[in-house]
Amino acid sequence: MFTEQQTSALSIRGLRKAFDDVVAVDGLDLEVLRGECFGLLGPNGAGKTTTIEICEGLTKPDAGTVELLGLNWNKQANELRQKIGVQLQETQFPEKLKVEEVLTLFRSFFKTGLTVEQSITMAQLEEKRSSRVGGLSGGQKQRLAMACALVGDPQLLFLDEPTTGLDPQARRNLWDLVDELKRSGRTIILTTHYMDEAERLCDRVAVMDHGRIIALGTPKELIALIGGEQIVEFATGAATPLDSVQLTGLPGVHSYRMHAGMHQLSVSELHTAVPEIFAALAAQQQPLTQFRTHSATLEDVFVSLTGRNLRDE
Amino acid sequence: MSSLSSSSLYQLTAQRFRLFFREPEAVFWIFVFPLLLAVGLSIAFRNRPADVLQVGGTTTQITQALNADKGLTATTLDEADGRKSLALGKILVLAVQQPGSVTFYYDDTNPDARTAKLIADHALQQANGQHDTVATKNEQVHEAGARYIDFVVPGLLGMNLMSSAIWALGFAIVEARQKKLLKRLVASPMPRWQYLGSFLLSRLLILVVEVGVFLTFARLVFGVPFRGPIWQLTLLCILTSLSFSALGLLLASRAKTMEAASGLMNLTMLPMWILSGVFFSASRFPHVLQPIIHALPLTAAIDAIRGNMLQGLDFSQLLVPIAVMLGWLLICFSLALRIFRWR
């Protein structure tokens, strides 16, 4: 028990939450270690935000327990709020307040924490300190939200879709900021539906679908789950159906699936597998109309687990 | 950072102030609008010097005789033109010379016309040699406190306290809820009572300016009387503002959109604008409505303020309106805290 408290930043057991007749979280168990950057991944409606808002103490679960930093919401809510940092989806700060005024306000809620100055520097908002919120770009507003989450110097940080709606440059800036926070030893729990973001930032990810965790591990482990690090995608112009069993029997080919009108094979060694695939398709009289390969991503993991794209919904 | 300026209640209140003063429209509605309204009403309902009444006569002798009285201005007209002017309201009385007599044409349902007829009759009699049998003297009286402006200033004050409290709270809270700022704030260790407390504090501070400017203006420009104790008037204004803040809090406690909230606020305020005696006495409404009218917070507020300013009443004589306001304050506040939606 003692050692678990030492190492575990977040511990969820049997978490369940339904809104009216929609089950948002359906029996969730999760352990996040201190110092980890953990990603909750999944399509919209998978239950990521509900899960994270229960962890933040904003939503009461129907069943299950949540323990953060060895504390829980029923008894130590005030203490917990002092120790965590929160960035919610779509918070709009008052447009007529200045950046430093917003941060001074949020800093005043915490007993200890960074100085307003430090939080401005961390979020790279130095040039915007006296600008009104209404005059900030989307990326700057998001960095202000991050600064508000950081100003209490939290050990545990919750980021709910931190880069949704940002342009690529602003996303990369925010990723750099998260990297810096990881280096300073904070535990970070973030939700995203961008696979590249999860691969880039997270030590471990949990893939969620319909309120459950369907896969859990490091991005590498998850990609290894589908059997190969490479994905071969092709389409053929033949009227006769493809013999997929023959293809999966080829050396280095691990699995076959049909996805979005394309045949997909997960493959471990491209240089040996691809000639074999060409030969087999020629033998089956399947003339290729498209052929491409890419390194397997978490997106492929999700597709192979659910048969759906992440952003289908 | 000093300990005061790093306290969250101070910061929340300071934030309310900044947001208020950075909203020019809000400043206009709260500070300037009641002044403009008071000026406008005082012009419309000013106590004019007794009017010179317009009359007409069909002969120059009549006209001369009528003009001899300072209260009348007479013009000479033939009978047809005179009747036309009478119909158009340009003159109030037409005196027509008949063989051996004078006939007055006038509308006897119009008090001004009756007055003009009496003066005209008197002037003609005097011109033809009649003398007053009793010597009389006139002394004119314009008593401060009995004028329309004196009546309407407390009404406007009460109305302004109501709308500024309800709008300030309702608007800001619903906006914060709609923009998910409330949710973000309760995810932080902010003590929730301080958020609501900051509204009351900033209201009270703005109230000092708001009421001060308005009453000073009313005193200096119109000479509106302050017959009751000023400190009691101050407390009455504070109580009024707190009651309406609690009402505003209640109105804003659930609404998720500005549209819903402003509908609710207008629905609450409109009956009070009409019924509570802002512009005319609430006693003009039927008897059956009186208990309801007097249970309204604005009626209570205005009654209490009028009682203090115009009649010089003490708290002990204003217990009923004070109790009504306290009741609204307590009920609305406790209900609002119970049903308040933080997200």
Q: What is the pLDDT of residues A109-137, one digit of tens each?
A: 999 999 999 999 988 899 999 999 999 99
For B141, left (φ over 0), alpha (ψ -120 to 50), or beta? Answer: beta
Coil, helix or strand for B255?
coil
Separation CA A197–CA A162 (nearest Å): 10
Retrieve residue B304's tokens. 């209490």
- pLDDT for B275 equals 92
For the segment B256-281, the average pLDDT, to the nearest whole number, is 91
Q: What is the least distance, in Å, from the CA of A89 to any CA of chain B? A: 9
Give chain A's mean pLDDT: 87
Give B38's pLDDT tier (boundaries 50, 70, 90).
confident
Q: Among A2-11, B31-40, B71-80, B327-336, which is the least confidently predicted range?
A: A2-11
Give the residue, B128 or A228, on which the prediction is more confident.
B128
Q: Is residue A311 over pLDDT 70?
A: no
Q: Is residue B2 over pLDDT 80?
A: no
Q: What is the least distance, in Å, from the CA of B237 to any CA of chain A? A: 29
Quote the pTM value: 0.77
- pLDDT for B45 equals 65
**Burial grade of B281 (CB within 10 A; 0-12, 13-18, 19 or more):** exposed
- pLDDT for A3 equals 46
Residue B168, C-beta contacts closer than 8 angstroms, at least 6 positions apart: B20, B26, B199, B202, B203, B206, B245, B248
At CA A151, angle to CA A150 and CA A152, rounded to 5? Answer: 95
Indicate yes or no: CB of A110 within 8 angstroms of CB of B189.
yes
CB-CB neighbors (< 8 A) of B186 in chain A: 58
Q: What is the ipTM of this complex?
A: 0.83
- pLDDT for A132 equals 94
Nearest to B218 by CA among B34, B87, B53, B46: B34
Separation CA A51–CA A60 (nearest Å): 10
Chain A residue with the nearest C-alpha to that of B18: A97
Give chain B's mean pLDDT: 88
**Residues shown for chain B:** 343
Separation CA A198–CA A203 (nearest Å): 9
In terms of DSSP H, where are the helices of A84-212?
A: 99-107, 116-122, 138-150, 168-183, 195-201
Separation CA A225–CA A205 (nearest Å): 13
For the segment A248-252, the average pLDDT, to the nearest whole number, is 85
Give A89's pLDDT tier (boundaries 50, 70, 90).
confident
Residue A158, C-beta contacts closer than 8 angstroms, at least 6 positions apart: A52, A55, A56, A84, A85, A86, A87, A149, A189, A190
- pLDDT for B48 equals 59
CB-CB neighbors (< 8 A) of B15 in chain A: 94, 97, 101, 105
Residue B129, C-beta contacts closer than 8 angstroms, at least 6 positions apart: none
CB-CB neighbors (< 8 A) of B8 in chain A: 105, 108-109
Interface check for B12 against chain A (CB to CB < 8 A): the answer is yes
Separation CA B179–CA B171 (nearest Å): 12
Q: What is the least distance, in Å, from the CA of A275 to any CA of chain B? A: 56
Separation CA B181–CA A96 (nearest Å): 14
- pLDDT for A296 equals 82
User: How many Cβ pairs closer than 8 A exist between chain A and B?
Assistant: 67
pLDDT, tens digit (0-9, with 9 covering 90-100), for A131-189: 999 999 988 999 999 999 999 999 999 999 998 888 888 889 889 989 989 998 899 99
For the segment B186-204, the average pLDDT, to the nearest whole number, is 89
- pLDDT for B144 equals 65
Nearest to B46 by CA among B125, B121, B139, B148: B148
Residue A211, C-beta contacts closer than 8 angstroms, at least 6 positions apart: A23, A24, A25, A26, A27, A28, A46, A47, A50
Separation CA B341–CA A235 (nearest Å): 54
Nearest to A145 by CA among A135, A159, A134: A159
Question: Could you give the strand order of the β-sheet that contains B72-76, starting from the edge strand earlier in sequence?
Answer: B72-76, B53-57, B93-98, B101-106
Ranges of beta strands (E only) in chain B are 53-57, 72-76, 93-98, 101-106
CB-CB neighbors (< 8 A) of B343 in chain A: 58
Indicate yes or no: CB of A97 within 8 angstroms of CB of B179.
no
The β-bridge relationship of strands A8-19 and A84-87 is unpaired
Q: Is residue A86 over pLDDT 90?
A: yes
Residue for token pair 């002037």:
B123
- pLDDT for A310 equals 61
Q: What is the least distance, in Å, from the CA of B283 to any CA of chain A? A: 45
Nearest to A185 by CA among A143, A218, A147, A154: A154
- pLDDT for A1 equals 42
How many CB atoms are located within 10 Å of the residue B144 CB?
A: 13
**CA distance from start to end of chain A:** 41
pLDDT, tens digit (0-9, with 9 covering 90-100), for B293-332: 999 999 999 999 999 999 999 999 999 999 999 999 999 9
- Are the CB atoms for A160 and A191 separated by under 8 Å? yes
pLDDT, tens digit (0-9, with 9 covering 90-100), for A3-52: 444 578 999 999 999 998 889 999 899 999 999 999 998 888 888 889 99
- pLDDT for B70 equals 82
Indicate yes or no: CB of A56 within 8 angstroms of CB of B11.
no
Separation CA B126–CA B97 (nearest Å): 16
Residue for token pair 């217990």:
B319
Give the residue, B30 or A84, on which the prediction is more confident.
A84
